[in-house]
Amino acid sequence: MAKTGRPYMPEYGIQPPTPEAGLLPWSFISQRMAAARNYWLATASTAGEPQAAPVWGIWVEEQFFFSTAENSRKGRNLAANPQLVLHLESGDEAVILEGVVEAVPEGSEFDFLDKTYFAKYGVSLTTQNPVYRLLVRKAFAWRERDFPTSATRWCFDDQEEGL
């Protein structure tokens, strides 16, 4: 799995060494990702111009999947720069995922995702728009009520940076 620890946030009093007590389990992220209806994506153009937009998506086998039109701003941004930040709507129970996206090809996995998406939203995924999988590199989560004690970071590819 991932290396778990505290995020490096010295402006909030979180910097090594910090006690490990109070770290959140991965299930904190998984439960909130599965239950959410709306997800916020942040992308950037090749010129570095940021864009944030809400999307629908599904959390399947500890991975996030979503679709967007190729010609939408976020679709064009992802085609040029596959890096993505995703977060949920709540600031009281924060969940932030960072990584890169890859397109899911048509086939049995796409068909399974389509059925799962339809069960959640009542509409089908279309093969006319790409379906993306977020390959998470870093994840952050915390509860506002016990921050900074609950602030937790997961690193999936040996990245050690803070937020």
Residue 51 contacts residue 43 (beta carbons within 8 Å): yes
pLDDT per residue over 14-38, tens digit each? 876 667 788 999 999 999 999 999 9
Calculate mean pLDDT across residues 63-72. Answer: 96
Place of tokens 């790409």: 130
Residue 132 contacts residue 65 (beta carbons within 8 Å): yes
Residue 131 contacts residue 123 (beta carbons within 8 Å): no
Residue-range domain boundaries for the chain: 3-155
Tell whether pTM > 0.85: yes
Q: What is the pLDDT of residue 132?
A: 98
Asked if omega into 50 is within 30° of 0 (cis), the reply is no
A 10 A CB-CB count for 43 gives 23
User: Topology of domain 3-155, per CATH?
Assistant: Pnp Oxidase; Chain A (2.30.110)
pLDDT per residue over 42-62, tens digit each? 999 989 999 999 999 999 999
Q: What is the pLDDT of residue 13?
A: 81
A 10 A CB-CB count for 145 gives 9
* Helices and strands (H, E) in the chain, number of each type: 3, 9
- Taking the C-alpha atoms of 138, 50, 30 and 136 in order, what is their torsion angle to the nearest 10 degrees? -40
Residue 126 contacts residue 113 (beta carbons within 8 Å): no
